Amino acid sequence: MLSTHRPTRRGVLRAAAGLTTMTALGAGGVLASAGAAHAAGDGFGLRIVDRDESDGRMWYYRFATDAIGWNPGVNVLLPDGYHTGGRRYPVLYLFHGGGLDQDFITFDRMGIRDWTAGKPVIVVMPDGGHAGWYSNPVSSNAGPRNWETFHISQLLPWIDANFRTHAEYDGRAVSGFSMGGFGALKYAAKYYGHFASVSAHSGPASLRRDAGLVTHWANLSSAAADLAGGTVYGAPLWDEARVSADNPVERVESYRNKRVFLVAGTSPDPVNWFDTVNETQVLAGQREFRSVLGAAGIPHEWREVPGGHFVRPDLFRQDLDGIIGRLRKA
């Protein structure tokens, strides 16, 4: 089992006028006061090129980063009362699904502000590419698309440096829908010490079943929508070690001592080919994953509910309560 990881905090906390303020990493690596607005700064390979911190809860940033060939965005949803006290909060990293209409704003469009009203948690919602699969691809003809590097090596420590978080294993959860649910399962296993809770809402959990259907789909969708013909796992031959490293059913021990929450639909739209193939594969893969978790004696929660491949707000709220219950309290 891997040891618990504690990222080094590059934000320096100072008390002023009875409030806790944050010193953020400024341009050129110089520490500069964030001031009364607690403004975030550059660091960890990220340079802020656009921002909006005017909303009481939803703060937006866009970054220049060598990891991605364009400037990805992130929404950071702060809890009620964040600006009026000095408490630290647990963090949920929430990943969107695949598709040309999916990005870091997806969950805001769906109503994430209402879903989290009154909840003592910070929610971080980053770009993950239209078909980035939360991976560093084997090949890209469109410039760098290293989403795994961006999320894990850059964004995660940047969040801990610029916001009042519990920067530890028991302070973080990861969740997502569809492709994002796969990303959550993948990151929770590969980076064991980063996340104490993992959730997959209609997220695939098995890369090799049915002759590797999900792996083929990752390659085809990434080639068409993200990589200009490149692929996540390699084609015509896969990088087998990479597939195994990312495959939840092959990483079962990495979910031990975590909260695991899985959702899948049981009755996809019979006239919608995409919905039927997607959720049918999700359901079969999650059942396989649950089987290996059970055989290993690893506790997990699961919901099989009517319907197909879509976000279910009631189950997200249920999941959120479980996440907050598992993580270190604000």
Q: Please name which of 282, 190, 181 lies closest in space to residue 243, comparing C-alpha atoms.
A: 190
Q: Rounded to an integer, what distance in angstroms lies between the CA atom of residue 262 and that of residue 185?
A: 10
Quick check: is 178 catalytic?
yes
Question: Which candidate in 216, 269, 275, 300 is catalytic?
Answer: 275
Beta strands in the chain (DSSP E): 12-16, 19-25, 31-33, 47-52, 58-64, 73-77, 91-95, 122-126, 172-177, 197-201, 259-265, 301-305
Q: Rounded to an integer, what distance in angstroms lies between the CA atom of residue 209 and that of residue 278?
A: 13
Q: Please name which of 89, 92, 328, 119 lies closest in space to residue 188, comparing C-alpha atoms.
A: 92
Quick check: is 221 catalytic?
no
Collapsing DSSP to helix, strand or coil, 215 comes out as helix
Q: Rounded to an integer, what distance in angstroms lies between the CA atom of residue 240 and that of residue 67?
A: 23
Q: Please name which of 179, 136, 142, 138 lies closest in space to residue 154, comparing C-alpha atoms.
A: 136
Question: Which candidate in 178, 197, 202, 254 is catalytic?
Answer: 178
Quick check: is 101 catalytic?
no
CB 45 within 8 A of CB 24: no
The rounded radius of gyration (Å) of the Cα atoms in the chain is: 19
Q: Which residues pair with 327 in a beta bridge?
A: none
Q: Rounded to an integer, what distance in angstroms lies between the CA atom of residue 269 and that of residue 307?
A: 7
Question: Which candidate in 175, 254, 309, 319 is catalytic?
Answer: 309
Instruction: Read off φ and ψ for residue 290, nearest 5 degrees.
Output: -60, -35
Instruction: Read off φ and ψ for residue 60, nearest 5 degrees.
Output: -120, 140
> What amino acid positions are annotated as catalytic residues?
178, 275, 309
